[in-house]
């Protein structure tokens, strides 16, 4: 979820109620703010918000059902998740590919922080910051090419 997302705000009370029922359902319910954890949004290939996953014994399934409390509880109690096809092996959050995707999301956040530091703290013009990144990219490419 993301705090600025209208759909996430709409489901928030339902999700909180679902979390309160978690002990009775013998499950763990959580939520992750993708603005604070960009690596997880890359690892889980989050393209829409909110995105709900069911995980059991390392197998991940994306929940695409209704977002009412009754339907969320029914999904677990009636074991409806068994009829849902697991996330493909290469797209699974535990796969090497998605570990790499998470790393790319972390790298993009790091680059954004450097850009903000250069432009905000040091007062460098935006285009000069871009030029620095272009030069760094070329130099890294040349170094790796050698």
Identified catalytic residue from 5, 19, 25, 84: 5
Find out whether the peptide bond into 129 is cis, omega within 30 degrees of 0.
no
Of 36, 29, 34, nearest to 15 by C-alpha is: 29
Answer whether 60's CB lies under 8 Å from 93's CB: yes
Identified catalytic residue from 1, 2, 3, 8: 8
Answer whether 85's CB lies under 8 Å from 61's CB: yes
Residue 40 is a catalytic residue:
no
H or E element: which one contains 31? none
Q: DSSP alpha helices (H): ranges in 89-125?
A: 96-116
Residue 93 is a catalytic residue:
no
Supply the Cα-derived Rg of the chain in whole angstroms.
20
State the catalytic residues.
Answer: 5, 8
């Amino acid at each position: 979820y993301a705090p600025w997302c209208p759909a996430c705000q709409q489901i928030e009370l339902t999700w909180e109620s679902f979390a309160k029922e978690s002990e009775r359902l013998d499950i763990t319910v959580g939520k992750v703010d993708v603005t604070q954890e960009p690596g997880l949004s890359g690892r889980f290939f989050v393209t829409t918000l909110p995105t709900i996953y069911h995980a059991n014994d390392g197998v991940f399934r994306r929940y695409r059902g209704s977002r009412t409390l009754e339907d969320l509880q029914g999904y677990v109690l009636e074991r409806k998740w068994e009829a849902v096809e697991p996330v493909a092996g290469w797209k699974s959050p535990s796969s090497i590919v998605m570990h790499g995707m998470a790393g790319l999301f972390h790298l993009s956040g790091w680059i954004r922080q450097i850009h903000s530091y250069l432009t905000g703290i040091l007062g460098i013009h935006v285009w000069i910051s871009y030029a620095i990144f272009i030069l760094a990219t070329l130099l890294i490419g040349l170094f790796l090419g050698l």
